[in-house]
Amino acid sequence: MEIRIAPFTVVFGGRKKKYYVMYPLRPPVGGAVLMVLDSKGAPIKTADAYASRRSRIVSAAFAAINRGISQPLEKLRSVPSPAALELAENVGWLARYGPGTQDILLPSTPVFFRGGLPAGLREQAAGDAPRAMQLLADCVRQGVAEPIRPGSAVVTAAELAASGD
C-alpha cells in the first residue's frame, strides 16, 4: 500500500482555499479511502468510497486523485501534521514509532533486524498489513529493529566490487 498526497483548491465565496488529499493506492477494505488536509496539513475530513460527492471538498479531493498529480508520502512527509498522521494510523494506513513526522512506517518501509526476524512475528501479523505495521513499529520502539530510510543505500562488498567492472 502506497500513500500519496495531492494538492487541490476549492473556491468558497470567491476565495480559493488550498487543501491536500492524502490517500492509499489500495485502501483497507471498508475503511477510509481519502483524508482531506487543510493548507497546514491538519486533517479536516475522511471519506470512504461511498462518500457523498455533494460536498465540494470531497468532490474536489476525488478529482485531484483522478488527475494523477499526487506524489508519494515519502516525498511530502512535511505536509501531514502529527494529527493527520495519528488519524492515518487509526485508519490503518501507517504506523508511528516515534513522535516526529518522520517517525512512521508504511507498508513498503523496509525494516532491518540486527539479530534476524523474531520467532513468530510472521504468524502474529497473520496476513493483516495494518497489524504487521504495528508489530514492526513495536520492534523499532523496543530497539530490536530499525527502519531503512528512503534514499538509504544497502550494499554488500560483492555488489560494490562488481559495480567497478
pLDDT digits (tens, 9 = 90+) for 112-129: 998 899 999 999 998 888
**Which is more confident, 79 or 152?**
79
Chain centroid to CA 147: how far? Answer: 14
Percent of the chain with pLDDT over 90: 60
Q: Which residue has the cell 514492526?
A: 136
What is the domain partition of the chain in residue ranges? 3-75
| H or E segment to which residue 6 belongs | strand 3-12
For the chain, give the mean pLDDT: 89
* DSSP β-bridge partners for residue 147: 111
Q: pTM value?
A: 0.83
pLDDT above 60 (res 165): no
